[in-house]
Amino acid sequence: MIKTSDEKYLRAIYHLSEDKNNKVSLSELAYYLDLKPPTVLERVHVLQSEKWITYKKTDGIHLTKTGEKEALNVVRKHRIWETFLHKICKFSWSEVHELAEQLQNVNSEKLIDRIYDLSGTPKFDPHGDPIPDKSGKLPVSERRPLLNSVDGCKCVVLGVNEDSNEFLNYLTDLKIGLNEKLIVEKVFVFDGSMKIKYRNNESVILSPKVAEKIQVTCIKPNCPCKN
Amino acid sequence: MIKTSDEKYLRAIYHLSEDKNNKVSLSELAYYLDLKPPTVLERVHVLQSEKWITYKKTDGIHLTKTGEKEALNVVRKHRIWETFLHKICKFSWSEVHELAEQLQNVNSEKLIDRIYDLSGTPKFDPHGDPIPDKSGKLPVSERRPLLNSVDGCKCVVLGVNEDSNEFLNYLTDLKIGLNEKLIVEKVFVFDGSMKIKYRNNESVILSPKVAEKIQVTCIKPNCPCKN
DNA sequence: TACTAAAATTAGGTATGCCTAACAATTAAT
DNA sequence: ATTAATTGTTAGGCATACCTAATTTTAGTA
């Protein structure tokens, strides 16, 4: 059985190796976890001795098969809590993450199952990220960055690529949330910023930096947007 | 602000001083928390220095005003989680306690509020114990031990006086649960045991020891049962 | 290649939360 | 009132999860 205190390590390693396919360094991990390298090194040795990860200075940190499965299970718990908090408890998008962090430590598969059912057995969490099933399989979606839209595209927000409070609060202010329908009125070619229409004909101009981080999927079939 | 790790102490002290009105000894507390006296002594010193409790060898442990308020808040959190787990997540009566123990550590008043609303703003938890309001006030109920019933009394189960798994499982086996309606067919005077009719005319004989620990309230007005 | 910057490691330290064993004080029982 | 049992206290230790400072290793660059 895995220790609660190991779970955040596995989740962190999972996320880091997802992004930068595979090579996770000690200091990266330390930075991500907001801990100092010696602390992390110590734990990494333990995790290695427990066969959750492999680690060689030159090669970085990798999840083993077992480790990845365990990590996916933690990810599952985390995302189910996030979904529950957002959909059922009506927490805003930006409040959800920190709370889920705490709740994910609660140790009861049965509870997760119930919470999952209560939330309507979703395939994606409120950020639009896929929820692994119990065996660790991830559902696939058609998500792509809003940035890749063409003029006139009608799409729906599936999630975001960044978790910082600054970003999430910005979206909350604009009232761009999960499942929000957006119409791309115009893409300005010179810098890629775009005018978006949404809600009751409100509109806003989003910078390419923002548009890159909003994940959407087209509503109309055969929409010509790039993936 | 109180530390999570202190909360279980305050809740324990609250429960112990509730039962035995007031004098809580070190070893009692240690036993209750399943810790050794030196461990508890250490923490008691800290809690005292933080003004949550007073402690003198001769006088035992007492909650201060602030301590009691904090304890009631922990009790509130705990009972709200228990209610949620039972009513909404369909956990059995006996599973609820341990999980609530873990969940009560999650630090978000807002979450408690939401969970409370989801559970239907109950005044009593699934054991029938009162849920303090935010200011620490306890609702009152007419609960009394089943043992005090007279022949023919029709009553409803509000809760129990004991938390041991043995006891809770026993009740679960009998299918005597919260809100179960019971008819007291006959009280046997020689030892106080009683024949109970419930559900679809099932009946069972309960020992006085058990009947003492089941908390009920009469359904018919002006029922002559003792309180 | 030699040098420097970055990353990893080692050594040693702190706080927390628990423990056992030994001793002291209090309470209860003969 | 003395003894025995219970309760409380002290001292010292262990594991965990962090830290800083100093050193070594690796990797990138002039």
Near-strand D residues (CB closer than 7 A): A 3, 5, 34-36, 38-39, 42-43, 57-58; B 25-28, 37-38, 41, 57, 60
Least confident of A80-89, A160-169, B35-44: A160-169
Bases along strand D below 7 A from a protein CB: 7-12, 16-21, 25-27
Contacts of A102 in chain B (CB under 8 A): 105-108
Q: What is the pLDDT of residue B22?
A: 64
A58 touches strand C (CB under 7 A): no
Q: B201 near B129, Cβ under 8 Å?
A: no
Q: What is the pLDDT of residue B11?
A: 96
Taking each helix axis from N to C terminus, what angle separates A26-33 and A4-19, rounded to the nearest 10 degrees? 120
Q: What is the pLDDT of residue A22?
A: 64
Q: CA–C1' span, A42 to D17, in Å?
A: 10
CA distance A142 to A145: 10
Q: CA–C1' span, B208 to D14, in Å?
A: 48
What token pair was written down for B220? 């018919």
Query: Is the pLDDT score of B220 beyond 80?
Result: no
Q: What is the pLDDT of residue A20?
A: 62
Amino acid B166 reads: E
Tens-digit pLDDT profile for residues A126-143: 777 889 999 999 988 778
CA distance B124 to B127: 8
- Among B91, B95, B106, beta carbon nearest to A102: B106
Q: CA–C1' span, A108 to D14, in Å?
A: 30
Query: Is the pLDDT score of B19 beyond 80?
Result: no
Query: Is the pLDDT score of A17 beyond 80?
Result: yes
A38 touches strand C (CB under 7 A): yes
A22 touches strand C (CB under 7 A): no
CA distance B205 to B184: 10
ipTM of the assembly? 0.78
Task: Give the C-alpha distances (Å, rounded to integers) separating A46 from A3, A28, A42, B124.
Answer: 11, 18, 7, 45
Query: Is the pLDDT score of B63 beyond 70?
Result: yes
CA distance A74 to A68: 10
Query: Is the pLDDT score of A153 beyond 90?
Result: yes
Q: Kindly report which amino acid residue has its CA closest to the C1' atom of nucleotide D26.
A: A58
CA distance A137 to A135: 6
As beta bridge partners, residue B54 has B62
Kindly identify which residue of chain B lies nearest to residue A116, measuring between CA atoms: B89
Q: Kindly report which amino acid residue has its CA closest to the C1' atom of nucleotide D8.
A: B57
How does residue B21 score in pLDDT terms, banded at 50, 70 and 90?
Answer: low
Q: Kindly report which amino acid residue has its CA closest to the C1' atom of nucleotide C8.
A: A57
Which superfamily does A144-218 belong to?
Answer: Ferrous iron transport protein A (FeoA) (2.30.30.90)
Query: Is the pLDDT score of B181 beyond 80?
Result: yes
How does residue B79 score in pLDDT terms, banded at 50, 70 and 90?
Answer: very high
**At B202, is the secondary structure helix, strand, or coil?**
strand
Q: What is the pLDDT of residue B40?
A: 98
List all residues of chain A from 114 to 133 with a beta carbon under 8 Å from chain B.
Answer: 114-115, 118
Angstroms from A152 CA to nearest CA on chain B? 39
Q: What is the mean pLDDT of chain A?
A: 92
Kindly identify which residue of chain A lies nearest to residue B100, measuring between CA atoms: A106
Q: Which CATH class is domain A4-63?
A: mainly alpha
Tens-digit pLDDT profile for residues B86-124: 999 999 988 999 999 999 999 899 999 999 999 999 988
Amino acid A172 reads: T
- Among B90, B99, B114, beta carbon nearest to A108: B99
The edge-to-edge listing of strands for the beta sheet with B154-160 is: B144-145, B214-218, B154-160, B181-187, B194-198, B202-206
Q: CA–C1' span, B33 to C18, in Å?
A: 13
Chain A, chain B: beta-carbon pairs less than 8 Å apart:
40
Contacts of B106 in chain A (CB under 8 A): 99, 102-103, 106
Q: What is the pLDDT of residue B178?
A: 84
Give percent above pLDDT 70 in chain B. 98
Q: What is the pLDDT of residue B18?
A: 83
Query: Is the pLDDT score of A154 beyond 70?
Result: yes
Rg (C-alpha) for chain A, rounded Å, is 19
Q: Which nucleotide is nearest to B31 (CA to C1')?
A: D7
Cβ neighbours of residue A158 under 8 Å, at least 6 residues apart?
Answer: A124, A128, A141, A143, A178, A215, A216, A217
Establish if A156 touches chain B: CB-CB under 8 angstroms.
Answer: no
CA angle A15, A16, A22 (to 5 degrees): 115
Q: Which nucleotide is nearest to A29 (CA to C1')?
A: C7
Query: Is the pLDDT score of A226 beyond 70?
Result: yes
The segment(s) of chain A belonging to CATH 1.10.10.10 are 4-63
Taking each helix axis from N to C terminus, what angle separates B26-33 and B37-49, rounded to the nearest 10 degrees? 110
Query: Is the pLDDT score of B149 beyond 90?
Result: yes
How does residue A61 score in pLDDT terms, banded at 50, 70 and 90?
Answer: very high
Q: CA–C1' span, A16 to C9, in Å?
A: 22
Residue A27 CB neighbours (<10 A):
12
* Backbone phi and psi for residue A4, each to the nearest 5 degrees, phi listed first: -50, -40
Q: What is the pLDDT of residue A46?
A: 96
Query: Is the pLDDT score of A4 beyond 70?
Result: yes
Q: Which nucleotide is nearest to A38 (CA to C1')?
A: C9
The segment(s) of chain A belonging to CATH 2.30.30.90 are 144-218
Tens-digit pLDDT profile for residues A93-123: 889 999 999 999 998 999 999 999 999 999 8
Q: A99 near A91, Cβ under 8 Å?
A: yes
A26 touches strand C (CB under 7 A): yes
Burial of B34 (0-12, 13-18, 19+ CB in 10 A): exposed
Q: B141 near B124, Cβ under 8 Å?
A: yes
